[in-house]
C-alpha cells in the first residue's frame, strides 16, 4: 500500500527520471563513453544555469501570480555587481550608502502610518496627495544623485580588467564626505515620502499592528546605522577587499551580487509591483519595460562590451586533476572525469545549482517562511486571516526570487561573458523551464531545467555530428515544451486550477 501511495504521489517525477535513464543508456551505447560523458556534463551545466533563473520565476509566480519579465535582468545585474566587486569594488562601496539610505526610507511605512492615518483629509483628496508625494519623492531623489560620477566609479572595474596594473591606482576618488553626506539624507527623505504615500494618509482602513511598527522601527534604525558605516568606509573598504585572498574575495563577490539583486528586487516590489497586484497586464508591461531600462543603464555605465571575469585561484591552477579528490587538493583548471577533460569551474556551476535546489527545497519544507509561502500558494486569503503580514512576505519572496537569479549571474560570470545581453539569453529558457515543470513547483523547475539543459547539449552534439543547422538544438527546447503541454497542460508538476 505504501508503495502504491508513493507511486501515485510521484508517478510523473519517477516516469521522467526513468525515461532519462533509458535515453541515457541508449546514448551511452551509441555515442561512446567520452562523447556521452562530455555532452552530459555540458547539459548539466546548462541545466544549472536555467534553474537559477527559473527558481525565482516559479517562486514569485507561485505565491504572487506575478510574471517577472525582468528576471533575466536580475541575472545580469548580479553578474555585473559580482564582477565589479571581485575586480574593483570602488563603485559598489561608493553606491552602498545611497542604496541603504533609500531602503531605510522605504521601510518607514509602518512607522509613520499611525501618524498619517489620523490626518483629516477628504477622500477625494487622498489619491491626489499620494500622487503628489510620489512626484515630490522623485524630485528629491533626482536632486540627491545629481553630480554623482557614476560612470567614473563604474569604470574602475573596466580599467582593472584591461590594464595590467594596480586597480586602485586608476580608481576614481570618492566624493569628499563634506559634500557627500547630504546625498544619503535626501535619498532617505525620498524613500520616506514614498512610504508615506503607501501608508495612504487619511485612510483609516489601512491597518498596521503595533508589533509591525516596532519591528519596522528597528529595521529602519539598523539600515540607518549601516548607511552611516558605509558612508564613512567608502575609501578604506575597497582597499581592504582587494587585499584579501582571491578565493575569499570570490565568495564575497557571490554574496555581494546576490544582495544587490535581492535589494533591487525588494525596491522594485515595494515601488512598482505592489500597487499593481490587481492589474496583471500592467505587471507584465512594467517588468518588460524595467528590463529595457536596466539594460540601457548597464550599457551607459559599462559600455556594451563583453567582459571576462577571472576565475578564483581555487579553479585556475595549471594542469589537470586526475579526479575530483585530486582537484580539491590542487585547484586545477580541468578535471579528468571518466576519461574526459572537463573544466573544473563548470563543475562548480553544477554544484551551485544543486545546492540552490537543496537549500530552496529545505527552506520551503522545513522553515516557518516556507510554510507561509506554501500556504500562501494554496490559500492566500487564509494566510491573511491568520494575521500574517502578507505584504511583507510578498516583498521578501520577490527579493528572494531576484536574489537567486543574481546569484546565478555572478556564479556564471567566470564561465560566460559579462555583457548586457546575457540576461536575455537565459530569460526565455527560464520561462520554458517553468512552463515545463509547472508554475509554482520548485521541483518541477529543477526537472524542467534538467530536460532543457540535456536537450540543448545533445542537440548541439547531433547538429555538429551530422552538420545540421544550430537552430535544431534551439528548437529542441520548444519541442519538449509542446510535448509536455500536450500531455499535461499544467506542466509536469504544476497545480490544476
pLDDT averaged over consecutive 10-residue blocks of the chain (497 residues)? Answer: 66 80 84 88 92 88 81 92 90 90 87 78 80 91 90 70 48 75 94 86 66 80 93 87 88 93 88 80 88 90 84 85 78 84 90 92 84 71 71 85 92 89 86 86 89 89 78 79 85 71
Residue 124's Cβ-count burial label (10 Å; 0-12, 13-18, 19+) is exposed
Asked whether the beta carbons of 491 and 436 are under 8 A apart, the reply is yes
Give CA–CA dist 386/388, Å, rounded: 6
Q: Which residues pair with 335 in a beta bridge?
A: 321, 342
Residue (of 96, 81, 103, 224) closest to 148 by Cα position: 96
Q: What is the pLDDT of residue 163?
A: 46
Q: What is the pLDDT of residue 164?
A: 44
At residue 107, φ and ψ (nearest 5 deg) are -85, 5
Residue (of 44, 40, 29) closest to 340 by Cα position: 40
First to last CA, the chain: 28
Do β-strands 332-337 and 317-321 pair in parallel, antiparallel, or remain unpaired? Answer: parallel
Residue 11's Cβ-count burial label (10 Å; 0-12, 13-18, 19+) is exposed
Asked whether the beta carbons of 493 and 434 are under 8 A apart, the reply is no
Residues 6+ apart with CB under 8 A from 471: none
Give CA–CA dist 114/116, Å, rounded: 6
pTM for this predicted structure: 0.87
Q: What is the pLDDT of residue 488?
A: 85
- Three-point CA angle 217, 380, 399, nearest 5°: 50
Give CA–CA dist 50/456, Å, rounded: 11
Give CA–CA dist 405/59, Å, rounded: 11
How many residues appear in the chain?
A: 497
Q: What is the pLDDT of residue 497?
A: 55
Q: Cβ of 72: how many Cβ atoms within 10 Å?
A: 27
- Residue 320, H or E segment: strand 317-321
Residue (of 47, 12, 13) closest to 455 by Cα position: 47
Residue 235's Cβ-count burial label (10 Å; 0-12, 13-18, 19+) is middle
- Three-point CA angle 387, 219, 290, nearest 5°: 85
Quote the radius of gyration of the chain (alpha carbons, Å).
Answer: 24
3-state secondary structure of 334: strand
* Grid coordinates of 488: 499535461
139-148 in b/e burial notation, b at 16+ Cβ within 10 A?
ebbeebeeee
Domain boundaries, the chain: 30-315+338-487
Q: How far is CA 237 from CA 81, 96, 174, 177, 231, in A?
A: 16, 11, 11, 15, 10
DSSP conformation class of 165: S
Q: How far is CA 434 from CA 16, 61, 242, 483, 484, in A?
A: 16, 10, 39, 14, 12
Amino acid at each position: 500500500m505504501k508503495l502504491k501511495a508513493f507511486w501515485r504521489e510521484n508517478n510523473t517525477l519517477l516516469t521522467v527520471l526513468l525515461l532519462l535513464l533509458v535515453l541515457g543508456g541508449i546514448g551511452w551505447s551509441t555515442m561512446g563513453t567520452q562523447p556521452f560523458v562530455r555532452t552530459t556534463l555540458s547539459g548539466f551545466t546548462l541545466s544549472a544555469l536555467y534553474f537559477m533563473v527559473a527558481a525565482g520565476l516559479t517562486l514569485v509566480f507561485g505565491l504572487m501570480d506575478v510574471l517577472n519579465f525582468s528576471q533575466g535582468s536580475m541575472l545580469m545585474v548580479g553578474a555585473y555587481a559580482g564582477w565589479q566587486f571581485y575586480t574593483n569594488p570602488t563603485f559598489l562601496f561608493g553606491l552602498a550608502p545611497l542604496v541603504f539610505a533609500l531602503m531605510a526610507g522605504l521601510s518607514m511605512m509602518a512607522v509613520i502610518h499611525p501618524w498619517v492615518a489620523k490626518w483629516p483629509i477628504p477622500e477625494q483628496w487622498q489619491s491626489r496627495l499620494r500622487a503628489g508625494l510620489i512626484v515630490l519623492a522623485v524630485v528629491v531623489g533626482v536632486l540627491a544623485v545629481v553630480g554623482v560620477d557614476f560612470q567614473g566609479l563604474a569604470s574602475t572595474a573596466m580599467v582593472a580588467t584591461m590594464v595590467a596594473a594596480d586597480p586602485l591606482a586608476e580608481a576614481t576618488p570618492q566624493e569628499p564626505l563634506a559634500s557627500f553626506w547630504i546625498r544619503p539624507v535626501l535619498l532617505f527623505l525620498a524613500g520616506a515620502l514614498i512610504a508615506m504615500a503607501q501608508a495612504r494618509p487619511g485612510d483609516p482602513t489601512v491597518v498596521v499592528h503595533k508589533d509591525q511598527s516596532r519591528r519596522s522601527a528597528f529595521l529602519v534604525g539598523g539600515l540607518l546605522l549601516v548607511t552611516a558605516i558605509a558612508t564613512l568606509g567608502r575609501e578604506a573598504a575597497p582597499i581592504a577587499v582587494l587585499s584579501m585572498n582571491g578565493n575569499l574575495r570570490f565568495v564575497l563577490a557571490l554574496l555581494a551580487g546576490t544582495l544587490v539583486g535581492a535589494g533591487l528586487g525588494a525596491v522594485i516590489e515595494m515601488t512598482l509591483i505592489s500597487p499593481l497586484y490587481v492589474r496583471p497586464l500592467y505587471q507584465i508591461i512594467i517588468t518588460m519595460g524595467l528590463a529595457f531600462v536596466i539594460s540601457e543603464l548597464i550599457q551607459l555605465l559599462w559600455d556594451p562590451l563583453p567582459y571576462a571575469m577571472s576565475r578564483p585561484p581555487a579553479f585556475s591552477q595549471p594542469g589537470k586533476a586526475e579526479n575530483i579528490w585530486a582537484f580539491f587538493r590542487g585547484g586545477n583548471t580541468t578535471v579528468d572525469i571518466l576519461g574526459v577533460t572537463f573544466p573544473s569551474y563548470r563543475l562548480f556551476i553544477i554544484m551551485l545549482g544543486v545546492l540552490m535546489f537543496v537549500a530552496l527545497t529545505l527552506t520551503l519544507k522545513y522553515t516557518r517562511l516556507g510554510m507561509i509561502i506554501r500556504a500562501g500558494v494554496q490559500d492566500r486569503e487564509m494566510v491573511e486571516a491568520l494575521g500574517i503580514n502578507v505584504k511583507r512576505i510578498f516583498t521578501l519572496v520577490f527579493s528572494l526570487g531576484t536574489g537567486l537569479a543574481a546569484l546565478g549571474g555572478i556564479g556564471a560570470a567566470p564561465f560566460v561573458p559579462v555583457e548586457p545581453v546575457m540576461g536575455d539569453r537565459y530569460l526565455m529558457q527560464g520561462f520554458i523551464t517553468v512552463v515545463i515543470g509547472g508554475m509554482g513547483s520548485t521541483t518541477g523547475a529543477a526537472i524542467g531545467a534538467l530536460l532543457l539543459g540535456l536537450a540543448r547539449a545533445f542537440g548541439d552534439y547531433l547538429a555538429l555530428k551530422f552538420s545540421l543547422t544550430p537552430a535544431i538544438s534551439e528548437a529542441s527546447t520548444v519541442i519538449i515544451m509542446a510535448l509536455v503541454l500536450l500531455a499535461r497542460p499544467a506542466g509536469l508538476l504544476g497545480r490544476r486550477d
